[in-house]
Amino acid sequence: MSSNKESFKPYIPADRVVPEFTVTSIILGILLAIVFGAANAYLGLRVGMTISASIPAAVLSMGIIRIILRRDSILENNLVQTIGSAGESVAAGAIFTLPALFLWAEEGTMEFPSMITIGLVALVGGVLGVVFMVPLRQALIVEEHGTLPFPEGTACAEVLLAGEEGGSKAGTVFAGLGLSALYKFVADGLFVFPNEIGYDIPGYKGSSVGIQVLPALAGVGYICGPQISSYMLAGGALSWLVIMPMIALFGADAVVFPGTDPISAMAPSDLWGTYVKYIGAGAVATGGIISLIKNLPLISRTFMQAMKGVNAKSSSSLRTEQDIPMISLIIVMVVCALAIWLLPAFPVNLIGAIIVVIFGFFFATVSSRMVGLIGSSNNPVSGMAIATIIITTLILKATGTVGTAGMMGAITIGGIICVIAAIAGDCSQDLKTGFIVGATPKKQQIGEIIGVVASAAVIGFVLNLLNNAWGYGTDAIPAPQATMMKMLVEGIMNAQLPWALILTGVFVAIVVEILRIPVMPFAVGMYLPFSLSAGIMTGGVIRWFMERRKGVSEEEKRAGVDRGILYTSGLIAGEGLMGVILAILTVAGVADAINLKERFGISIGQIGSLVVFALLLATLVRVCTKPSKK
């Protein structure tokens, strides 16, 4: 580890000072944070997933700062993406939990949540996410450089460096970006072909295989590599090809809680959503606990180093090693905890405030490390929120906080924890990008907090607007995670929770750890749809072949792999940008007008989508195998 740290040289040396924390970067970053936050709130409530905003923010930043404003500073661009990406993470944390409060209000159980409450939940969660991540930077970003890939953080750095260096690097990145954006628009804007292909296996009831044919998934798989991709696919195979068929076989016509229909009448997707998600949530939570236990020595050492530096002058360290001082972090953490306990906007008592601090640090640690493995886009924040809400509701019920007060308290605590986990993951990716390009960590951390404040100020209005427009739980915005959170809290308060499913996931994770298989990517594969893991695996397979090519020199092989990383960085960026554009078109009411499938019946079907995806992967292979220019 230390050799990686000592040999690594950032793009901008530590002794060089260039524009970074400027008025331009702050204003532009705030605008992007608000835009990405609103767009991702809609996307997440519609489809249950959000997009990582770091790379789109970096690309937009380069376009605006370099082309329009004629400015030239990679660190300024980096700070814009740091601030801008915070909006997506705040939105992800909020939408997975807080719409449950609107659902209860619609039922007449409680009053509608105020904009102040939603804003404060997002603000406190976001600030604590940054506060908990800062002491982990040395351990996860610096000490494990070369070990944790941080796919989006690395890809974002490649995008920034390509824009800085120009030439063939920039061409490779933007070729991937343009092709991916076009692909995404044709698939999810014009709906000429489906972005997911599924196949229920005849004679093996309950099983299903499929693949999401999306450029970003192949890009993440290529950057993560074949090993991590295969662990995720293995977890998905266990859920979709072993556990679900067993449920279908032994369940027969029985109605088993939490399901309300006979198992024999359930499609594989229903079995996954009704039963396997709980198993996956138990595995993810256990994987997080195992990860925390295994990393306790490293975390303890990091904190001891940070505490020793509390009184050290910032001028005594290199620019690229400066963090927000530990004493400032402690003060902010205490203020946030007191605010959660004392402010009437939070329906949380002292026990709840203590839970937030303890679980917040735990999941910030887990999230920060997990995104280093599998990327922010696949960070199962909602799985962490499920684990938090289960334990929190049990504690609140045991201490006498039940009924409406208990349910509101559990969802509020879950919302704060969810935002903490999302922001911690985003912050670690941004700090990884900064580490590569030579940013000042302290300025990035302050920028992240600015992004949190900006997006927290508007997220309540966005949630209220969407609820007034369509109503949560409808076909327009089903809010899948929040609906599950609501069911969980009600189930615990009413003594109805599928503990057998959750414990199944717990012991699967323990067995996987005993077999010395990395638990977290395997558990994430169990929790997410099989089709997502299959899409990621395609990129991993191509990376595997590129690293083992015959008949070429090691230098040429390495150059080809590096070109692939640049190209797949563009694929991730292109889909992210187009995803935001499509979300805006949907909110603006334009999406139906360009839907060729609905309007004219134009579609090339699943076979056509496989062919198009294969052609996309062929372009990646071509980029990797193209001879280098002398």
Is pLDDT above 80 for 171?
A: no
Q: Give the Å distances, CA to CA, from 42 to 38, 294, 377, 557, 591.
A: 7, 37, 16, 42, 14
C-alpha 176/C-alpha 571 separation (Å) is 5
Cis peptide before 347 (omega within 30 of 0): no
Q: Are strands 208-212 and 196-200 parallel, antiparallel or unpaired?
A: antiparallel
Q: Is residue 219 part of a domain?
A: yes
In 158-314 the beta strands, taken as DSSP E runs, fall at 196-200, 208-212
Q: Give the Å distances, CA to CA, from 24 to 71, 86, 464.
A: 10, 17, 31
pLDDT tens across 442-457, in order?
999 999 999 999 999 9
| Mean pLDDT across the chain | 85
C-alpha 162/C-alpha 174 separation (Å) is 9
C-alpha 376/C-alpha 91 separation (Å) is 14
Q: Which of helix, strand or coil describes residue 210? A: strand
Is pLDDT above 90 for 376?
A: no
pLDDT tens across 258-297, in order?
888 999 999 998 998 889 988 987 888 788 778 767 767 7
Tokens of 184: 């995404």
Which domain range does residue 145 map to?
A: 2-625
- Judge whether 333 and 131 are in contact, CB under 8 Å: yes
Question: Which residue(s) pair with 197 in the sheet?
Answer: 211
Looking at residue 313, its pLDDT comes to: 45
Q: Give the Å distances, CA to CA, from 263 to 177, 237, 245, 408, 483.
A: 44, 20, 11, 32, 21
- Judge whether 82 and 93 are in contact, CB under 8 Å: no
- Judge whether 33 and 451 are in contact, CB under 8 Å: yes
Looking at residue 96, its pLDDT comes to: 86
Looking at residue 577, its pLDDT comes to: 77
- Judge whether 19 and 69 are in contact, CB under 8 Å: no
- Judge whether 83 and 31 are in contact, CB under 8 Å: no
112-121 burial: b if 16+ Cβ within 10 Å, else e: ebeeebbbbb
Looking at residue 1, its pLDDT comes to: 39
Q: Give the Å distances, CA to CA, from 499 to 83, 417, 486, 491, 506.
A: 40, 22, 16, 11, 10
Q: What is the DSSP string of 350-385?
A: HHHHHHHHHHHHHHHHHHHHHHHHH-GGG--HHHHH
* Amino acid (one-letter) located at 198: G
Q: Calculate what percentage of the chain has a pLDDT beyond 90.
A: 38
- DSSP state letter for 320: G
Q: Specify the range with the lowest mean pLDDT, choosing from 21-25, 340-344, 377-381, 405-409.
A: 377-381
Q: Which of helix, strand or coil describes residue 148? A: strand
Tokens of 116: 């102040």
C-alpha 472/C-alpha 82 separation (Å) is 30
Instruction: Give pTM, 2 decimals.
Output: 0.76
Range 99-115 average pLDDT: 89
Range 532-537 average pLDDT: 92
Q: What angle do CA 271, 275, 277 make, to 5 degrees?
A: 105
Is pLDDT above 60 for 4?
A: no
Range 448-467 average pLDDT: 92
Which of these, 611, 605, 517, 549, lies nearest to 230 by C-alpha position? 517
Range 11-30 average pLDDT: 90
- Residue in the block written with tokens 């360290």: 317
Tokens of 291: 């990860």
CB-neighbour burial class of residue 535 (10 A; exposed 0-12, middle 13-18, buried 19+): buried
- Judge whether 547 and 231 are in contact, CB under 8 Å: no
Is pLDDT above 50 for 327?
A: yes
Looking at residue 2, its pLDDT comes to: 42
Which of these, 567, 565, 547, 566, lies nearest to 557 by C-alpha position? 547
Task: Indicate the pLDDT class of residue 124, thresholds 50, 70 and 90.
Answer: very high
* Amino acid (one-letter) located at 180: S
C-alpha 78/C-alpha 62 separation (Å) is 9
Range 486-512 average pLDDT: 87
Task: Indicate the pLDDT class of residue 302, thresholds 50, 70 and 90.
Answer: low
Q: Is residue 630 part of a domain?
A: no
Is pLDDT above 80 for 228?
A: yes
Spell out the residues 6+ positions from residue 487 whose beta carbon is closer than 8 angstroms to its own. Answer: 258
Q: Calculate what percentage of the chain has a pLDDT beyond 70.
A: 91
Question: Which residue(s) pair with 199 in the sheet?
Answer: 209
pLDDT tens across 557-570, in order?
888 998 898 888 78
Looking at residue 51, its pLDDT comes to: 62
Q: Which of helix, strand or coil describes residue 113? A: coil
Q: Is residue 459 part of a domain?
A: yes
Range 175-189 average pLDDT: 92
Q: Specify the range with the lowest mean pLDDT, choosing from 97-106, 458-467, 567-576.
A: 567-576
Q: Give the Å distances, CA to CA, from 139 to 2, 349, 598, 608.
A: 11, 33, 51, 46
| Domain count for the chain | 1
- Judge whether 584 and 61 are in contact, CB under 8 Å: no
* Amino acid (one-letter) located at 254: A
Is pLDDT above 70 for 104?
A: yes
Looking at residue 310, its pLDDT comes to: 45
Spell out the residues 6+ positions from residue 265 whose beta carbon is closer than 8 angstroms to its own. Answer: none
pLDDT tens across 386-418, in order?
778 888 888 888 888 888 888 998 999 989 999
CB count in 10 Å sphere of residue 516: 7
Looking at residue 63, its pLDDT comes to: 75
